[in-house]
Amino acid sequence: MKFTLQKVCPKTGARAGLLETEHGVIETPVFMPVATKGSVRGIPWETIKELGAQIVLANTYHLHIRPGDKLIQKAGGLHKWSNWSGPFLTDSGGFQVFSFARRGKAKIMDSGVTFKDDLEGKMHFMGPKESMEIQKNLGSDIVMAFDHCPPADATREGIDYSVNLTTEWTKQCMDYELQSHQSLFPIVQGGRFEDLRHKSLKELVKLDAPGYALGGVSVGESREEVDRIVQTMANELPSNKPRYLMGVGTPRDLLMSVTSGMDMFDCILPTRLSRHGSFFRKNPEGWKTESVTQKEFTEDFNNPIMKNCQCPTCSQFSRAYIKHLFKRSEITVYYYIAVHNLYTLINLTKNMRKAILEDRFVEFIKSNGILGESSTEKEYNLVNT
Residues that bind Zn ion (CB under 5 A): 309, 311, 314, 340
Nearer to Zn ion, 3 or 343 (CB): 343
| Side-chain-side CA neighbours of residue 351 (13 Å) | 15
User: Which one is catalytic: 91, 117, 147, 227?
Assistant: 91
Omega of the bond leading into 270 within 30 degrees of 0 (cis): no
Q: How far is CA 333 from the centre of its chain?
A: 24
CB of 311 to Zn ion, least distance (A): 3
> Which of 213/267 has CB closer to Zn ion?
267
Looking at the Cβ atoms of 314 and 325, the one nearer to Zn ion is 314
The minimum distance between CB 13 and Zn ion, in angstroms, equals 30
Whether 266 is a known active-site residue: answer yes
Annotated active-site residue in 69, 141, 253, 266: 266
Looking at the Cβ atoms of 258 and 305, the one nearer to Zn ion is 305
Q: What is the DSSP letter of 302?
A: S
The Cα–Cα gap between 166 and 181 comes to: 24
Q: How far is CA 229 from the centre of its chain?
A: 16
Q: Min. distance of Cβ 309 from Zn ion in angstroms? A: 3
Task: Classify 248 as helix, strand or coil.
Answer: coil
Least distance between Zn ion and beta carbon 348 (Å): 12
User: Collapsing DSSP states into helix, strand and coil, what is residue 82?
Assistant: helix
Query: In whole angstroms, what is the distance from residue 192 CA to residue 196 CA?
Result: 8
Is residue 300 flagged as an active site residue?
Answer: no
Q: Where are the beta strands (DSSP E) in 86-149?
A: 88-90, 106-109, 112-116, 123-126, 142-144
Q: Is 159 exposed, middle or buried (0-12, 13-18, 19+ CB in 10 A)?
A: buried
- List, by residue number, the catalytic residues: 91, 266
